[in-house]
Amino acid sequence: MARPKRKRTVTRPPPMEGFKPFGIPIADLEPVILFYEEVEAIRLLDYTGMTQAEAAGVMDVSRPTLTRIYEKARRTIAEALVEGKAIFIEGGDFHTTEFWYRCESCFKLMISEAEQKVCQYCHSNEIRHLTRTQIKIKEEHQHEDGGFCICIDCNLRIPHQEGVPCRDLACKQCGRSLMRENSYHHQLYLKKKEEKS
């Protein structure tokens, strides 16, 4: 029996939700997804200058696991830079002791030790719980045989394989990375595309 995957400790969320290339409308961009633990690995190794052994200790993972997380992050960033793709930052297999929220009205990031109902900056109740994104997606797809991975260009739709991120799969028709159907970023993409129409 395979050993259960250990959740990676992430001590702080990034202040932004992603990046987009200048000069290309968001609705025309294919996105790639960078997990929170991948951003944390980049932050610890490249920004703070920790060694891999030190960063692995902070994230509570083995050094080989940290190396895999880091290499995956670098490949995702390289793909976005070379191919002109947007980067969405969300989800992953991570653990944090705090509650992270993003206000949908003022777009500020909130970090709290207790659950919140309203934005502490503008008092809007339109806040999104970032540390629950993956839990919600998992719950939504539990009754759908694991949900589906889709290509946003070709409309290819294949059953999701448990334990295999959709972004690790390529569309058989166009070769682009797949996206989890009905995920937060899929909904964001559809919203932006509708706004452009």
Residue whose token pair is 């400790």: 9
Say if CB 156 and CB 129 are below 8 A apart: no
Per-residue pLDDT band at 78 (split at 50, 70, 90): very high
H or E element at residue 69: helix 63-83
- Domains assigned to the chain: 1-97 (no CATH), 99-129 (no CATH), 142-197 (2.20.28)
Give the least confident one: 57-66, 111-120, 174-183. 174-183
Per-residue pLDDT band at 6 (split at 50, 70, 90): low
For 127-163, write each residue's pLDDT tens digit: 888 776 443 433 343 334 468 888 887 778 888 887 7
pTM recorded for the entire structure: 0.62
Position 195 pLDDT exceeds 70: no
Residue whose token pair is 């994104």: 133
Across the chain, mean pLDDT equals 81
Position 14 pLDDT exceeds 70: yes
Position 117 pLDDT exceeds 50: yes
34 or 165: which leads in pLDDT:
34
Laid out side by side, the sheet with 127-129 consists of 109-112, 99-103, 127-129
Mean pLDDT (whole number) for 10-32:
84
